[in-house]
Amino acid sequence: MNAAFPAEHVKPGSKSDQPALTILIAAPRGFCAGVDRAIEIVERALERYGAPVYVRHEIVHNRYVVDGLRAKGAIFIEELDEVPDDAPVVFSAHGVPKSVPAEAERRKLLYVDATCPLVSKVHRQAERQLEKDRHIIFIGHAGHPEVIGTMGQVPEDRMTLVETVDDVATLDFAEDDELSFLTQTTLSVDDTHDVIAALQARFPQIVGPKAEDICYATSNRQAAVKELAPDSDLVLVIGAPNSSNSLRLVEVAERCGTPARLIQRADEIQPEWLEGIETVGLTAGASAPETLVREVVDKLAEWRNVEERPVLVTEEKMTFKLPRQLVD
C-alpha cells in the first residue's frame, strides 16, 4: 500500500508570486506486487550467486530500476546466447516463450524465473485451452514482451493476436469453430471490454477466462486516474515509453478530457507546462518506484507552493512468493 500524504505540504523557498499548485496524487500508484517480486529476485540472486547475474530483457520497464540493478552487478541481455555457461540468469517479469527455459535447460544454465504470477496464470490458461482443442484469440499489443512470452506458450498456429475492435472484424473463423480468448495483463480496461464484446458478438460460442486477465494493479491504477483526472488541469504519469501499463494511464487521463504527459524523471518537466495550471494529477506506472514520485513533487515545489492531496480508490495488500531456489 502506498504511504499516505498529509493534506497539506508547502515547500519553503518556493516562488511567492505564483499561485499555489494542488497535486492530486493517485493511490494506488507505482510498484505492484509482481514488480516488487521481480526486483527482489534479482537482488537475492546477486546476494546468493554473486555478480554478475544476467537478466534476460529489462527485469521491469523502468530505466531508474534497471540502472540501479546494473550498478549492483546485473547484466541485461536480450538472448540466452549472451549468457556464459557458468553464469546465473533471471527471466524478466513479463514472461518468456517456452523455448527460452527449454534452451536454458539444454545448456544446463542456472536460471530463475521472475515472471509475474498473474502472467504465469495466463500461460496456464493458454495451455488448458490448447488441451481442449480451442484456438486462442489473444488480445494484446504486438511486440510487447508479455505478448511474445504468452504467444510462445502454444504452437504458432493455435493463437491469433488482435489489438482492436477493427482487428476482430478481419478474423477468419467459422461460427462453429472452437474458440477462446485471453488478454495481456496490462491493457486498457475499457478498450479490452470493447474488444471482448466485439468477439462475443461475432463468435457467440467463444469461451473466456472465469476472471479477467487484466491484473489488479493495472485496473486499480486506471481507476485512480479516472478519479483524479476530471479535477486536474494536467496529469503527469511517471513511467517508461515502453511500459504498457504507463501508456494506458496517459490514455485514460486523456479520455477524461485532461491533457497528460508521460515522463521518466522529474527533470523532463518543463516550467511552461504549468502555465495556467492550478491542479496537477500525479501517478506512476507499476514499474516506477516511489522515489520518482517524490522527485516530481520536489521539482514542482521548486516553482510553486504545493499542496498535496491523496486520491485513494483502494488499498493493495497483494504479495507473491519468491522462487524456491532463492528462499533459505
Positions annotated as catalytic residues are 146
142 Rama sector, left if φ>0, alpha if ψ -120 to 50, beta otherwise: beta
> Helix, strand, or coil here: 308?
strand
Dihedral angle sign, alpha carbons of residues 125, 32, 237, 94: negative
Question: What is the spatial distance between Cα 130 and Cα 124, in angstroms, rounded to a whole number?
Answer: 10
State the number of CA atoms in the 13 A half-sphere of 73 facing the CB: 15
Question: What is the spatial distance between Cα 59 and Cα 240, in angstroms, rounded to a whole number?
Answer: 13
C-alpha cell at 301: 515545489
> DSSP 3-state helix, strand, coil percentages of the chain (rounded to 5)?
40, 20, 40
Q: Which residue has the cell 542456472?
A: 110
Q: Kindly write down the DSSP assignment for every residue of 208-224, as one continuous string.
A: --SS-SS-HHHHHHHHH
